[in-house]
Amino acid sequence: MDLKTTKKLNNGIEIPMLGFGVFQCKDGEETYNAVRWALEAGYRHIDTASAYRNEKSVGDAIRQSGINRKEIFITTKLKIEDIRTGMQVQAFEKSLQLLQTDYLDLYLIHWPVPGKNAESWKILEDLYKSGRIKSVGVSNFVETNIDKLVVGAKVVPAVNQVELHPHLSQSALAAHCVKLGIAPEAWSPLGGTGGTLLDDAVLQKIAKKHGKSTAQVTLRWELQNGIITIPKSTHKERIIANTDLYNFELSAAEMKAITDLDQSPLPTGMGWDPKSIAF
Ligand code: A2P
């Protein structure tokens, strides 16, 4: 396993297991620099969203990196507001324009919207069939959302991107996705901005043993679990450090000790508790 390692999605498309996420990166210099540093560090998978309002800077950074577009896997997401207002196609075109590309590698429904998932999925399926999106998927879907979607779908989602990290290990949801051929992907893989995950005593002990940081141990745990992961940082040294994951291995006992850190349902304020949301 290395930074170039990919996972084959259910349609044969390969996605780099480690990507770079830009949630909460400010549009402009902050996002631009972060993406340039990430590409320099060797990441070839960038994850953004229309709701993050930084697609333009992501597009600028990719274009000005000089790296061939085909070598970079780009994910963006269809936001709730565009689903509610029936603007899915226009939103897709706008994302392409801001990202300065004529196709997406992966397009996700950002959040399930009651009564609108089947309609949005049909639109994504049509764009997928036209070749303008290489793979389509969902985000923040719980088991029931997925099951309902799959019943009427012609294309099974390639990915379900959910909050996933050692304090919210999502074992049941990930297993459900895998059973259906849907690749689980982690957002807030380091526990998110302002989170306490990286101070966890168990992670610290394991990190010390391997001469690694708690962030590196966390990302390694995700990769060893077969989870696609997209850490965010605006600091160059952290962006680089978060790729240094391939010269150590967590034992089965360490993997279990980390999985056992699960605190679901999550403490409020940290992230996503599906039970609290009426889908
Ligand atoms: P920053 O952008 O200031 O580096 P997630 O990917 O789970 O959303 O987590 C991102 C959070 O973790 C951000 O607050 C980011 O802050 C921080 N972070 C990213 N990489 C590291 C690292 N290697 N060590 C410590 N904190 C990190």
pLDDT score for 265: 79
Q: Is 52 a known active-site residue?
A: yes
Query: What is the reported pLDDT for 264?
Result: 85
Residue 16 in contact with ligand 1 by CB distance below 6 A: no
Q: Which atom of ligand 1 is nearest to the CA of 190?
A: 7
- pLDDT at 107 > cutoff 70: yes
CB atoms within 10 A of CB 181: 13
| Tens-digit pLDDT profile for residues 111-147 | 999 999 999 999 999 999 999 999 999 999 999 999 9
Helix (H, G, I), strand (E, B) or coil at 186: strand
Span from the CA of 231 to the centroid of ligand 1 (angstroms): 7
Residue 44 CA, ligand 1 centroid: distance in Å: 19
DSSP letter (8 states) at residue 6: E
Q: Is 192's C-beta closer than 6 angstroms to any atom of ligand 1? A: yes
In this prediction, residue 276 carries a pLDDT of 58
Pocket flag, ligand 1, residue 191 (CB < 6 Å):
yes
Average pLDDT over the chain, rounded to whole? Answer: 95
pTM of the model: 0.96
- Separation of 93 CA from ligand 1 center, angstroms? 31
What domains are defined for the chain? 6-195+225-246 (3.20.20.100)
CA–CA separation, 198 and 213 (whole Å): 9
